[in-house]
Structure 1
Amino acid sequence: MAWKGDDTLRLYLDTKVQRNWDIRNEILPSLPKEFPHYKFSESNLRRMLKHFGIRKTREADKANLRGYIELILARSTGSLGYRAVAAILRNKYDIRVSEKAVEDELLEIEPENVARRDPANKLKHVQKGDFSVKGPNYLYSLDGHDKLAGLFGATFDIHIYGAMDTFSRKVMVMKVAHTNKNPKIVGKMYFDFVMKNRFIPRRIRVDRGTETGEIAAIQLFLLQKNGFPQTPIEGVIYGPSTANRIERLWRTLKEHLEPMYKEQLRELASSGYYQPADPVDRNLLSAIYIPHVQRSLDEFVQYWNSHKIRAQSIEMPCGRPDVLFDNPAEPYQDCRIVVTTADLLELSDQSDMNNVQTELQLLPEVAAALNNVNLLDEAPQRAERQYVRARSIITTATTT
């Protein structure tokens, strides 16, 4: 059979199994679109997996399971449940064990945290807003997140902005920058997404704030260019962030990523190493923490898009965001609007987005100090030490 020598098929199947996709309900429906020249059924898919030696769990991986779990917990920036740990084991380390095996290990390693995460001990949140959608790329929810920025979002220049597909709950983009209030910088994030992927959703939902003006302009320009003469109220929905589906994502992010960073930032401020009124301190802290936070966000997004969302009270499908986005089941359909290169070039010329500077501009003394700091060579837990070391270099240089 021709498929037996198909390395592309083998790698595709191995990747999906590594991400713990269900064989019948998730992998099988995705195959005809990716490999239309083969015929697939559940039985021959299982033969393929057996032939390629691809297994959902591997007995040998249990040997070092506890060591990997302890490593993940030590590097974690927040509280992780067994599903999150199992997803990290698969996606980052290719350790394929059952979620039950991970849960059993966690019960022995941190029984108090496991008990605290028990659903019976949590309050249920009521989902707000009207999220009736027709499929992936029908509606994106976009919002900023300032929980790492401190009091009134003004103590630390660490701001997050993200976009989520409302149907699948897939995170389309999540970036950290020194501000999420500048409309040009926020707009550049959406512009870069469109330039890379060459499609837009039918509509977007954003806060009614000055920072969303460029995003709205980009969305409406491309809609009109592609024969969707929608009024602004149809192409761009304005509403409070509390009625925005991405708010659920921020709550999970708060649990998984923020505690460790917040503790470090509070310690720097309370110890006097960081002075919010000092422009050098602000510049240095952003330069140190933004790369660490972005790397943590990238890992979180990978986990989020591959984890399984349970059934909810509203009429939305359950499943993995990646699967729901790529392979929507009937009656849902992909609603993306493909944009042409010519339209993108015109957009680029009219918006001047290619000339928008999103990178943090380093002060000379900060740039000099960072020559002696290898930012991402160390774990995020050491970001605080990196800041203190660089701050000491700056202080020494200015006093000699």
Structure 2
Amino acid sequence: MTDTNSLLLEYAAKNMSHKEISLVMIKEHNIHLSSNAVGKRLLRCDYPPRRGSTGYSDAKLERKIKDMLQSSPPTVGYRHMTDKLRHLNIPVRRDKVMEIMRRIDPLGVDFRRRRRIKRKIYYSQGPNYILHVDGYDKLKPFGFPIHGCIDGFSRRIMWLEVGPSNNDPEIVACNFVQTVAALRGIK
């Protein structure tokens, strides 16, 4: 084993990230390796990848999460909990934290899930019964104001036009009249 590989293994054993190892190798040993190269060399040295087990058993991790939930507000979800654990130098996968939190705090998980935006179920009585018209202003500073219309039932695009202005209701009315004429009337 080369001297470089033994240095890499030594730093990896200290639980340093590949990027940290790369920076230390450059600064301390004047050996230039990217973080990807560090990872590949560690794999060639049969060092286990970081995505696997954390060294913490599920029971130990569960106890740690329970303790942390006691002192956390009820809005702390699995992403925030994963970040807190990693901040304490506990390498853990987010899906593992999510699984444990579902098991030990099902009411909290359900509470956070209910606070998400619920989409309304939309019903239309039929084709051409209701049309949705909207404008897009992001490209207006570049001279491209856009107006469009969608059928509420079929989600068919009735028109999508780049016009001289999207502040003039006459242009929208003209697009509407042309669409009605092309459809030979609407209900």
TM range (shorter): 0.3 to 0.5
TM-score (norm 2): 0.44
The structure that has the greater radius of gyration is: 2
Whose helix proportion is higher, 1 or 2? Answer: 1
TM-score, with length taken from structure 1: 0.23
Higher RCO (C-alpha under 8 Å, 6+ residues apart): 1
